Structure 1
Amino acid sequence: MNEILKQKAAGIKLLISDCDGVLTDAGVYYGSNGEDLKKFNMRDGMGVERLRKYAGVQTSIITGELSPSIAKRAEKLQITELHLGIKDKVVVFKDICNRLNLQPEQVAYIGDDYNDLEVMRLAGLTACPADALPQIKNQVDILCTLNGGEGCFREFAELIIDSKSNAFSASSLNGTITLNNGRVIGKGQPSYIIAEIGINHNGSLETAKKLIDEAVAAKADAVKFQKRTPEICVPKDQWELMRDTPWGRITYIDYKRKTEFGIAEYATIDQYCKKLGIDWFVSAWDAPSVDFMEQFDTVLYKLASASLTDFTLIQRILETGKPLMLSTGMSTIKEIEATMNYIMAFDENYPLFIAHSTSAYPCPLQELNLKMIQTLEAKYPGVPIGYSGHETGLATTVAAVTLGATFVERHFTLDRAMWGSDHAASVEPQGLQRLVRDIRDVETALGDGQKKVYESELAPMKRLRVNISAEYKEKPTA
């Protein structure tokens, strides 16, 4: 894109798209009842969400079609400016500009057919898919390399995002990722310390708030919870197994339901964390849980080690555009590679973290394998590498930072003797305070690797050294 087009793209506030031939291919699909169906591309949906989040640009659809599939897709993507069955797109274009108080040059348009020509003459920036009609190709500012329904909308959206220069910092460029609150994680930054509450709240909101309080007191950077849909995550053959719990002897599925927070609890947690100034996010274990969490403006998503091969879940998280933290416990290198290849195929610059982990609770020292932090760093240069630990003790987590972990995560509890599966491998409040303190001390002590003589050394030098360099002979001692 040349500089003139970049300047145009930087001023765009709304992207209007045709549907057939752009958001969908040119095919016609019918359901079993004869209803008209549409085949949408997930990458294009991601483009809508990224435009909104990283460039502040909204999306509108103007189409001559009346398919309910388009309405459903628009609802899913939160596109409110949806205009179906339109014969005169110019009239609708002008009405949108008037209602939204936009100048035509602030509106971009992507289309593929002759009925898009008049609108294109009004819009400030135009594009079309690679398989658009010849006259359209001659009219537009940008000819996409991808066909309609195969990611051309996303391609155009990314050009607009890049022109505005406020997208996330790509990890492939400098090894850092900027969260939506401005916090930077990666090389050259203080380690991002995560207190993993998980399900250690035991279904109690008050316990959760106490854990948040302790994490804030310890000066952790974030707290993390886990979000599941029990009916999806618990195998059906385990639903009716009986278990002794704080709520009495109940079925396993009822136990999992009681430890899950809903909208009321997470709304309270969201407000409480914002009030106390600490980040929060979750490990989402299934796609509906991601949909649920999208109600909140959390800083990232964590993918638990158990979910590393769950590509349906990964796909749903990628569609949100939020940074993704992968945990690699119980995984082979080939499985890690497969997941990384899947993500890179979706977006080679997707904001991504990788956490080395061993999924034993608690994990024996000989299985921590901390040198994997350096192995992952060498294998995926530019991607922030961290550590998710389940061991007892603190020294090994501090060691992970010295080996290059740009973030660390430890399970956290009020009391390791509490009822529940994760408490025994968790850190108590005093331990979390010591962990944060020791990590910050080590970061300070690591220095910059450049040899120098400090002012505090001058007096011992003059007392003890036989031959003092001329540059230090006249320097006053402290």
Structure 2
Amino acid sequence: MKEILKQKASKIKLLITDCDGVLTDAGVYYGQDGEYLKKFNIRDGMGVERLRKLAGVETAIITGEKSPSVITRAQKLQITEVHLFVKDKPQVLKEIIARLQLEKEEIAYIGDDYNDLEVMKLVRLTASPADALPAIKNTVDYVCQAKGGEGCYREFAELIIDAKNDTVAALPIKSGVITLSNGRKIGPGQPSYIIAEIGINHNGSLETAKQLIDEAVTAKADAVKFQKRTPEICVPRDQWEIMRDTPWGRMSYIDYKRKTEFGIAEYATIDQYCKKVGIDWFVSAWDAPSVDFMEQFDTILYKLASASLTDFELIERILETGRPLMLSSGMSTMKEIENALRFVNDFDPNYPVFLAHSTSAYPCKPEELNLRMINTLANKFPGIPIGYSGHETGLATTVAAVALGATFVERHFTLDRAMWGSDHAASVEPQGFQRLVRDIRDIETAAGDGIKQVYESELAPMKRLRVNIGEEYKTKPLV
């Protein structure tokens, strides 16, 4: 594939196709009742599904046809952007671009006739079947070897899939282990880095925050994490004056959010207190001014909440600090994860970045935890330490995440799950967190090195129970 064609194809988010002459063979067929039918190629249908599954690219149909078979075929393939009996294709395309907030570079189009020429001028990447009109074939970026209705759409779809997979594979393979500024290593082969997320569970009380830090130290957690927001940026303007019942009385939502935010005095105290008791601390920064604020302190890293994975302005501000970045992937598609990691890679191929699997439900049902994603992410992004940010109510699944390879884990932490606030119900209480850390360390110890050996503790049962004992063990004394 030519490099410029690959670059264009790697950016595509939507593939738009004409119908007659592309998805069909341009023949005219009628049913027994005289209805206007179309003959589709089954390989093209598989192309739609593969493009969605493997590249995160959806398909749209814009056609001048008005056949019921087109509607039926689109429904079967779960194509929701279907525009029939279109007289002005460019206008329909402009409407799609505006509604889906797409750029020209993110759209591809495959057509075969003169009425496709104007719409092709509005997109980045174009293609045609092998039997398209000469003027079309001379205009497009790619001419398929297959004819219309004989797999040309599938051929073009595979080109886009290959380009996107090549782009992801081009991300540099990192070392796999990241060393923090205090010397602590996080990655495969290292003890899991266990984070007690205090978040906003302090409910605006510095004393509660200090109690939570003390309990995290007692539990032998590696770090505590808070959240830092600028309420005027993070709270939508239309929600500011909504009245809420709070522990401080009834107040507007914006005032409530201000009440729960710590300022310079509180974080200065937290900074000193964590240093005193010997535990790492950092924050999830939700906006660029919050990053500027936190740069007053020498925190160990920055966390990016799942909700911020597509906020590239915020990501860039964090990257400018040079501190390690921990991304969380809840409420995100694989494509959005790839885009975030590619953004980091474009900034600095060697930037220290972590990735946490997460499902953003509070609390999260076991059937939605999808812990096998830990292995999926590790295989897809080799060299990037993969972890787990959990919002479930139990402990066993977080321990299982470590058994599956999570190099760090994060759970919300509270003094009492019955306390007022949005995150307490999906949080772990102090005694539970102690058990969590204990069980994770037991799992790590029990994992061993994978090399089969006979332990000294097995010699007595061997001599008592085994019929034929190896010569090397017959004279070996019991311990």
Give the TM-score taking structure 2 as reference length.
0.64
Report the CA distance between 1:173 and its aligned residue.
4.2
Helix, strand or coil: the match of 2:340?
helix
Query: Which residue number in structure 1 is paired with residue 184 of structure 2?
Result: 183
Q: Note the alpha carbon deviations across 1:268-290, whole angstroms, 9 max, x for none.
A: 00000000000000000000000
> What does residue 374 of structure 1 align with?
375
Q: What CA distance in whole angstroms lies between the structure 1 residues aligned with 2:174 and 2:354?
A: 14
Q: Hey, what does 2:112 align to over in structure 1?
A: none
Higher alpha-carbon Rg:
2
Q: CA deviation at 1:239?
A: 0.3
2:439 corresponds to which residue?
438
SS in 1 for 2:224: strand
1:174 shift after superposition: 2.8
The aligned residue for residue 43 of structure 2 is: none
Q: Tell me the residue number matched to 1:384.
A: 385
1:376 and 1:385 in contact (8 A); partners too: yes
Q: How far apart in 1 are the matches of 2:219 and 2:243?
A: 38
Structure 1 residue ranges, 4+ long, deviating more than 2 angstroms after superposition = 171-174
Rounded Cα–Cα distance in structure 2 between residues aligned with 1:324 and 1:339: 11
CA distances 1:189-221 after superposition (whole Å, capped 9, x unpaired): 000000000000000000000000000000000
* Number of the residue aligned with 1:313: 314
Structure 1 counterpart of 2:358, one-letter code = S
CA distance in 2, matches of 1:349, 1:372: 24
In the alignment, is the contact (CA less than 8 A) between 2:174 and 2:382 conserved in 1? no
Amino acid at match of 1:371: R
Name the structure 1 match of 2:473.
Answer: 472
- Please state how far the C-alpha of 1:474 moved relative to its aligned partner: 1.3
Aligned residues: 309
What is aligned with 1:327?
A: 328
Cα distance in 1 for partners of 2:350, 2:403 equals: 27
Report the residue type matching 2:422 in the other structure.
Answer: S
AA aligned to 2:238 is D
Aligned to 2:458: 457
Structure-2 residue corresponding to 1:405: 406
Give distance in 1, aligned partners of 2:173 and 2:301. 18
Aligned counterparts of 1:176 and 1:264: Cα–Cα separation in 2: 35
State the 1:349 CA deviation: 1.0
Question: Distance between the aligned counterparts of 1:374 and 1:216, measured in 2?
Answer: 30
- Per the TM alignment, residue 473 of structure 1 is displaced from its structure 2 partner at its CA by 1.2
2:93 alignment partner in structure 1: none
Secondary structure in 2 aligned to 1:360?
Answer: coil
Contact 2:387 2:408 in 1 (8 A): yes
Which secondary structure state, in structure 1, belongs to the residue aligned with residue 467 of structure 2? coil
Q: For residue 411 of structure 1, what is the amino acid of its counterpart?
A: H
Pair 1:245 & 2:240 matched = no
Instruction: Give the residue type in structure 1 aligned to 2:449.
Output: D
CA contact (8 A) 2:362 2:392 kept: yes
The one-character-per-residue Cα deviations of 1:373-415 (angstroms, maximum 9, x if unpaired) are: 0000000111000000000110000000000000000000000
What amino acid sits opposite 2:274 in the alignment?
C
Shift of residue 472 of structure 1? 1.1
Say if 1:191 and 1:408, in contact at 8 Å, map to a contact too.
yes
Residue of structure 2 in register with 1:217 after alignment: 218
1:274-423 pair list within 5 angstroms: 274-423=275-424
Counterpart of 1:257 in structure 2: which amino acid?
R
- Aligned residue in 2 for 1:160: none
Equivalent residues of 2:212, 2:414 under 8 A apart: yes
**Counterpart contact for 2:188–2:385, Cα < 8 Å:** yes
String of CA shifts for 1:288-329, please: whole Å, max 9, x gaps.
000000000000000000000000000000000000000000
Match of 2:65 in 1: none
Match of 2:235 in 1: 234
- Name the CA distance, whole Å, in 1 between partners of 2:451 and 2:422: 46
CA distance, structure 1, for counterparts of residue 436 and residue 347 of structure 2: 37
Match of 1:255 in 2: 256
Partners of 1:356 and 1:387 within 8 A in 2: yes
Letter in 1 for 2:362: Y
Identity of aligned residues (%): 83
Q: Which whole-Å CA distance do the structure 2 matches of 1:354 and 1:413 have between them?
A: 24
Q: Quick one: distance in 2 between partners of 1:315 and 1:204?
A: 31
Cα distance in 2, alignment partners of residues 461 and 247 from structure 1:
68
- Residues 42-191 of structure 1 aligned to structure 2 (within 5 Å): 172-191=173-192
Structure 2: state its 5+ residue gaps.
1-171
Cα distance in 2 for partners of 1:253, 1:346 equals: 35
Distance 2:333 2:459 in 1: 53
Distance 1:211 1:338 in 2: 35
- Amino acid corresponding to residue 330 of structure 2 in structure 1: G
SS in 1 for 2:262: coil
Between the aligned partners of 1:339 and 1:187, the Cα distance in structure 2 is 22
Aligned residue identity for 1:180: S
The alpha carbon displacement at 1:172 in A equals 4.1
- Aligned residues: CA RMSD: 1.1
* Aligned counterparts of 2:469 and 2:457: Cα–Cα separation in 1: 15
User: Match of 2:44?
Assistant: none
How far apart, CA to CA, are the structure 2 residues paired with 1:326 and 1:299? 14
Per-residue CA distance 1:127-157 (angstroms, 9 max, x = gap): xxxxxxxxxxxxxxxxxxxxxxxxxxxxxxx
Whole-angstrom distance in 2 between the partners of 1:202 and 1:348: 39
CA distance in structure 1 between the partners assigned to 2:254 and 2:174 by the alignment: 45
Does the 8 Å contact 1:172/1:349 carry over to 2?
no
Residue type of the partner of 1:317? I
Matching residue's letter, 1:224: K
> Equivalents in 2 of 1:465, 1:173: separation in Å?
48
Unaligned runs of 5+ in 1: 1-170
341-350 or 263-272, which moves further after superposition?
Answer: 341-350
Q: Which shows bigger deviation, 461-470 or 361-370?
A: 461-470
SS of the counterpart of 2:261?
coil
Whichever residue aligns with residue 464 of structure 1, its letter is: L
Say if 1:240 and 1:251, in contact at 8 Å, map to a contact too: yes
